Amino acid sequence: MNLQLDVAVKQIEFARTYTLELISDVAPDDWFRMPEGATSHIGWQVAHLAIAEYGLCLFRQRDRRPEDAELMTGRYRKAYGKGSTPDPNPENNTPPDEILATLERVHRQALAEMAEIPDAQLAEPVDMPYAGYPTKLGALLFCSHHEFLHAGQIGLLRRLLGKSPLR
């Protein structure tokens, strides 16, 4: 594997491990709670990460494929995609176990496909968002940056829910 690609993959894996640590002790009943002053909830943050990883690591690398419909539903993308508004009503949200299953499905697929990306493809240009380089490699590098941004929000929501910080 290309060294730069390996670095991007390792950063994505590290960010995901940290995110999963942050949510490991959050009860399902707290996933959609929006503490006073908060404009989001943990469920939206985690669901959004699956969409972002799909977009940066799959769609931006090779466009949409018919089998992508098996990764997440259109309803899911609409509820948790860029520009959506978090809804605190659990009945209007995907249950936490399904959000986690979607997050895992997308992550497994992204890791599998990243392992096969040819070096020449990494240099192909992309528009924002990207990190470091305006290329497909830059889109992959941005994935971990984006996840850590949302991990920070998850960390804040944890504190507002009365949980201790992890680090």
Whole-number pLDDT of residue 96: 98
* Alpha helices, H only, 24-118: 42-53, 60-62, 74-80, 96-114
Whole-number pLDDT of residue 155: 97
Whole-number pLDDT of residue 37: 92
DSSP SS3 for 131: coil
User: Using N-to-C axis directions, what is the helix angle for 136-160 and 42-53, rounded to 10°?
Assistant: 170
| Average pLDDT over every residue of 38-48 | 98
Task: Locate 153 and state its tokens.
Answer: 């929000």
**pLDDT tens, position by position, 71-129:** 999 999 999 999 999 999 999 999 999 999 999 999 999 999 999 999 999 999 999 99
Residue 167: pLDDT band (50, 70, 90) is confident
Q: What's the sign of the alpha-carbon dihedral 96, 100, 103, 109? A: negative
**pLDDT tens, position by position, 154-166:** 999 999 999 998 8
